[in-house]
Chains A and B, each alone.
Chain A
Amino acid sequence: AQSVTQLGSHVSVSEGALVLLRCNYSSSVPPYLFWYVQYPNQGLQLLLKYTTGATLVKGINGFEAEFKKSETSFHLTKPSAHMSDAAEYFCAVRGSGTYKYIFGTGTRLKVLA
């Protein structure tokens, strides 16, 4: 069975500081991995995804994530936080051969001035 664990339901960083949001997954088959962002009172939108190929994936708004199979991780990073990055971030997994997406419980990012 697939599952996703996001460590830290709330993360605070100073503006300009590194953003690191953690995601670990379990999947019995090679996974497809995703990060979605939800801004206040809005729907979810895709930040980036890993399906096959290069393990370092770049997304929108300067975010990137690296698929590390040995660590079963797909952590999301951004070198320098901006106030507009304040939102809730969700990691999701989908096993190949299935169309079912399982989401983590989310991490709320707060950016301090």
Chain B
Amino acid sequence: GAGVSQSPSNKVTEKGKDVELRCDPISGHTALYWYRQRLGQGLEFLIYFQGNSAPDKSGLPSDRFSAERTGESVSTLTIQRTQQEDSAVYLCASSRLSGANTGELFFGEGSRLTVL
């Protein structure tokens, strides 16, 4: 597609359940990022993938959070045993790291997660 696509756009779950969020980046973008945006707050870095390099997981808040990406395609962010403090909008972005528009992050519209 033309832009970064995220699904689901909204997810309501019960505390303790696992959730999986999906991000489909722009074709040809080698870098993919996940951020968390809690209500009224800024963007909190979670993880990024760049090509075939080992991902930078330094922002994952706990071992309940994990993410995978196959090659330069779709990524999934998994949150196990969800807690109420996990409620947030999870934003995915992709970037071309060479050529035109180098350095610009293209964001999806986010997945809003509500944990009851």
Interfacial residues, chain A to chain B (CB-CB below 8 A): 6, 32, 34, 36, 42-46, 49, 51, 90, 92, 94, 99-106
Contacts and interface: CB of A to CB of B under 8 A. Distances in A.
Interface string B15-38: 000000000000000010101000
Interface in B47-92: 48, 50, 56, 58, 91
A46 B105 contact: yes
A32 B4 CA distance: 22
Interface of B: 4, 31, 33, 35, 41-43, 45, 48, 50, 56, 58, 91, 93, 95, 97, 102-105, 107-110
B109 A105 contact: no
B19 to A, nearest CB: 20
B107 A43 contact: yes
B35 A49 contact: no
A106 B44 CA distance: 11
